[in-house]
Amino acid sequence: LIIRNSVACKTCGYIHTVRVYLGVNPTQIHNFNCLGCNEEISISLDLDLQNISAEFNFLENSEPAEQEGSVINLDPAFPINKDLLNVDGFSTRIRQVHALAERQRELLGHSVSMPLEKARNILEYDIKEEWKNLKKCWSLSKNGRDKLAKREIEEANEKYYRTDPLDSYKDWLFRFCFKLSGKAYYKKFERIAKQLNLAAKSHEKFKKFHNYFNSELFTHHQDKYFDILKDYFIAYDTFNQIHIYTHTDLEIPSNSTLSLFEFDKVKMFYGNCYEIITSSFETFACLNNIIAGREFDTFETITLKKYKTFDKSSRHNPFSSNSDFSCICDCLNNNLRNASHHASFVNDSLNHTIKYRSGKGGTGSEETIKYLDYILLCENIVCSIAVIMQIELMLNSNYTSSTQ
């Protein structure tokens, strides 16, 4: 379903005909740059999903117009082919929906064709809504409000987990991470879990690490994950346009771009994720020491104390030759991290790109990255963090090596 309306820019009077695709959130906000003066325009839709109706709102720098103008397609759930951004009359979505339905069918291993309706339900599952509930439960648990947290879990069981009820917020978080990172990241999870199991076979050494992890690292890491997931869902409308692609490991059609890019909400996101994931590498580095036959805090040539002083870009070095651990590192881009972390990105909205300088302190050559590629990297790093969260939740429980 597409909602069509005429929108005039309050700054220069230029008239646009916006064609907005409907998503699954009750309110969807869209920002785009005026085709006349390039100033940002903001509109929103309030959806009534039961009665299939939508109310169109004019927010920043926008007002109603009588006649039609230049077409702008806006889609909250899919990227749009660059050549179709301003084309009227046909769906920019249809091919993508079919490719994704097909991919879901492969991943779920159905031998017979899945009804399109079912594929659609999977595609349109609203993870943002579940996050709101989980966030509250997690926060209550962090603050020791166990009774109130338990009530949230009971509600979640009713809403999302009827057939297989949750027993704690950690159980919820663990399953939510699966939903977030998807089947594509499950393989990485399995590889790392295998290494965890291997380390746990060295009972005495593992026990020492287990104590250290639970007293020194777990809560500290959890606090960081809570903050970064909060940031992720604040900017979810931007991420949601490609989330289904990272989730299913399907290649995004070439020449695609995003119709929504909330620069202010995402510009520091990659850098913040980078800090968090590389700090968490300590867990893998210690496990890797045990697997190599050493104590968890003894590296080949250095001590744990020295390791902690390493620059974030080197924290994966001690386990880089163990491919089951290092498979999580392909989301790392140190140049982009520096620019994102130090907020030295420049938004080029006309070309749908970000400009930044490489090198430490931004002294290197000027680089360009497309909006879509930047968001894809953000998606990959947040899914990688979700995998690490799962491993750490396993470690936090009374983990012992399985007999296999």
In the complex, which residues of this chain contact Zn ion (CB under 5 A)? 9, 11-12, 14, 34, 36-37
> In angstroms, rounded to a whole number, what is the distance separating the alpha carbons of residues 340 and 267?
6
Nearer to Zn ion, 36 or 364 (CB): 36
Stretch (H or E) spanning 218: helix 218-234
Q: Name which of 76, 63, 58, 44 is nearest 242 in CA terms.
A: 76
Q: What is the DSSP letter of 280?
A: H
Which residue shows structure tokens 């936090």? Answer: 396
Q: How far is the CB of 7 from Zn ion (least distance, A)?
A: 10
- Residue 70 Cβ vs Zn ion, minimum distance, rounded to whole Å: 11
Q: What does the alpha-carbon distance between residue 165 and residue 167 come to, in Å, rounded to a whole number? A: 7
Give the nearest distance from C-beta 21 to Zn ion in angstroms: 23
Q: How far is the CB of 267 from Zn ion (least distance, A)?
A: 23
Of the two residues 170 and 352, which places its CB atom closer to Zn ion in the complex?
A: 352
**Shortest CA distance to 182 belongs to which of 394, 352, 380?**
380
Which residue's structure tokens are 């599952």?
A: 125
Task: Specify the amino acid at residue 385.
Answer: I
What Å distances lie between residue 68 and 4, 36, 241, CA to CA?
Answer: 10, 15, 27
Q: Which is nearer to Zn ion, 36 or 253 (CB)?
A: 36
Min dist CB 19 to Zn ion, Å, is 19
Task: Please say which residue, 37 or 302, places its beta carbon nearer to Zn ion.
Answer: 37
Q: Answer yes or no: are the C-beta atoms of 150 and 140 closer than 8 Å.
A: no
Alpha helices, H only, 109-202: 116-123, 127-142, 146-159, 169-200
Nearer to Zn ion, 13 or 165 (CB): 13
Rounded least distance, CB 382 to Zn ion, Å: 34
Q: Residue 234 Cβ, how far from Zn ion at the closest point, in Å?
A: 27
Give residues with Cβ within 8 angstroms of 130, minimum separation 6. 156, 159, 160, 176, 179
Q: CA 334, 217, 267, 320: dihedral to nearest 10 degrees? A: 20
**Measured from the CB of residue 1, what is the shortest distance to Zn ion in angstroms?**
28
| Cβ neighbours around 81 below 10 Å, total | 17
Relative to beta strand 346-348, strand 353-357 is antiparallel
Smaller CB distance to Zn ion: residue 38 or 397? 38
Q: Which is nearer to Zn ion, 33 or 298 (CB)?
A: 33
Closer by beta carbon to Zn ion, 37 or else 49:
37
